[in-house]
Amino acid sequence: MRYFGGKQRIASRLAAVLTPLAIQRGVYVEPFVGGAAVMSAVSAPVRIASDSNVALINMWTALAAGWSPPEDISEATYASVKAAADIHDPLTAFVGFGVSFAGKWFGGYARGGEGRNYAANAASSLRKKMRGLEGVQWIAGDYRSCPIPSGAVIYCDPPYAGTTQYGAVAPFSWSEFWAWCLAKHEAGNAIFVSEYAAPETFRATLTISTKTDIRTFANGKEQRLEKLFVPRNSIYG
């Protein structure tokens, strides 16, 4: 399933950094699990996935319980699901991301060319991804309320500063988020954050050249440098 800002293309690179430490420490937590591309690629004895988009977590929970998403979604169905806005219905997040333009939350019905079926593609992608998500604990809530066992490895993929936020979640405070990250680090957790930039109290431990999901220039998609940050005084990463 497409997820705007998701890490599908670079998940394996991130997992190569995160998995060894997650296995060593025993617990891996993602407070911004989103499309779960990284979660499905990281191994650990205990894995906890949380997100403030309740509809999204309800979709993941339903998938884990055996729910099978539809292979076809008409534009009329898209409109009715959007209007209903039922966070308890797993179809809401499936349609809101998987059948929307560029995977952006209800960003418009995705129309493909001949032979392109976004719902079928999203359903197939989710089935494949679920193979790597067995045993994950799914929790709906803000990152600050996410239960984090002592010493856990925490990977955060928050809304990027300067980007458009979406209506399914509350307004985001980046200054509060970075302070929270430092507090978790000082409490003994190993914390990693995906972003383009970070405060001076953090350093980049991995840099990956990527492209945006949407064409922004006449000659193609915008090139970006994704970075994985850790606290500057950390001994991991």
Tokens of 235: 């001994």
Q: How confident is the model at residue 222 (pLDDT cuts 50, 70, 90)?
A: low
pLDDT digits (tens, 9 = 90+) for 100-149: 988 889 999 998 666 688 999 999 999 999 999 999 999 999 999 999 99
The percent of residues in the chain predicted with pLDDT above 70, rounded, is 87
Q: What is the pLDDT of residue 224?
A: 80
Q: Mean pLDDT across the stretch 5-10? A: 78
Lowest mean pLDDT across 8-17, 196-205, 222-231:
222-231
**162-186 b/e (C-beta count within 10 Å ≥ 16 → b):** eeeeeebbeebeeeebbebbbebbe
Q: How confident is the model at residue 215 (pLDDT cuts 50, 70, 90)?
A: very low
H-helix or E-strand spanning residue 220: strand 220-231
Domains of the chain (ranges plus CATH)? 8-231 (3.40.50)
Q: How confident is the model at residue 219 (pLDDT cuts 50, 70, 90)?
A: very low
Residue 67 has pLDDT above 60, yes or no: yes
Q: What are phi and psi of 218, to 5 degrees?
A: -60, -30
Whole-number average pLDDT of the chain:
90
- Report the Cα 26 to chain-centroid distance in Å: 21
User: How does DSSP classify residue 38?
Assistant: T
Least Cα distance to 52 among 225, 181, 171 occurs for: 171
Q: How confident is the model at residue 17 (pLDDT cuts 50, 70, 90)?
A: very high
Residue 6 has pLDDT above 90, yes or no: no
Residue 211 has pLDDT above 90, yes or no: no
User: How does DSSP classify residue 44?
Assistant: -
Contacts of 102 (CB under 8 A, 6+ apart): 2, 4, 110, 213, 214
